Structure 1
Amino acid sequence: MTKIAAGLERAFASRGFAEPNVEDLRDAASVSLRTLYKYTPSRSEMVLAALEHRHRRYLSKVFDGMPDDPNAALDALLNRVGNWMETETAHGCLFHGAVAAEPGSARLRELLERHKTEVATCAAKVTGLVGREIEISVILEGLTQAWALHRDAAVESAKLLGRGLRKLEI
Structure 2
Amino acid sequence: MNISEARTRIVATADELYNARGIQAVGMDELRTAAGVSLKKLYQEFPSKSSIVMAVLERRHRSWADGLDAKVRQAAAPRDRLLAIFDYLAQWFAEDSFRGCGFINSFAELGAVSSEVAEYAREHKASFQEYVARLAAEAGVPAYLAPQLSILAEGAQTTAAIAGTAEAARQARGAAEVLIDAALGARDSRAA
- TM-score between the two structures when normalised by the length of structure 2: 0.77
Q: Which residue of 2 aligns with 1:125?
A: 134
1:6-155 alignment runs, 5 A limit = 6-65=12-71, 66=73, 67-87=75-95, 90-102=98-110, 103-127=112-136, 128=139, 131=143, 132-148=145-161, 149=163, 151-155=165-169
Q: Quote how far apart the aligned CAs of 1:2 are.
A: 3.2
Q: Distance in 2 between matches of 1:46 and 1:141?
A: 25
Cα deviation, residue 16, structure 1: 0.9
Range 97-106 or range 85-94, more displaced: 85-94
The letter of the residue matching 1:142 is G
Q: In the TM superposition, what whole-angstrom CA distance separates every residue of 1:81-118 from its partner, at most 9, and x where no partner exists? A: 12212216543222122222222211111111111111
Describe the shift of the 1:96–1:152 C-alpha distance in structure 2 as closer, same or farther (beyond 3 A). Answer: closer
Contact 2:103 2:121 in 1 (8 A): yes
Provide Cα deviations, 1:22-41, integer angstroms capped at 9, x if missing partner.
Answer: 01112333332222212221
Q: Does the 8 A contact of 1:124 with 1:130 survive in 2?
A: no
Report which of the two structures shows the higher radius of gyration computed on alpha carbons.
2
1:2 and 2:8 are equivalent in the alignment: yes
Identity of paired residues, percent?
26
118 and 83 in structure 1: CA distance in 2 versus 1, 3 angstrom threshold: same
SS in 1 for 2:94: helix
Distance in 2, Cα, partners of 1:95 & 1:106:
13
AA partner of residue 3 (structure 1): R
**Greater displacement, 83-92 / 5-14:** 83-92
Identify the range of structure 1 (106-115 vs 1-10) with the bigger mean alpha-carbon deviation: 1-10
Instruction: Identify the residue that residue 168 of structure 1 maps to in structure 2.
Output: 183
Structure 1: stretches of 5+ with no match in the other structure: none
| Letter paired with 1:40 | F
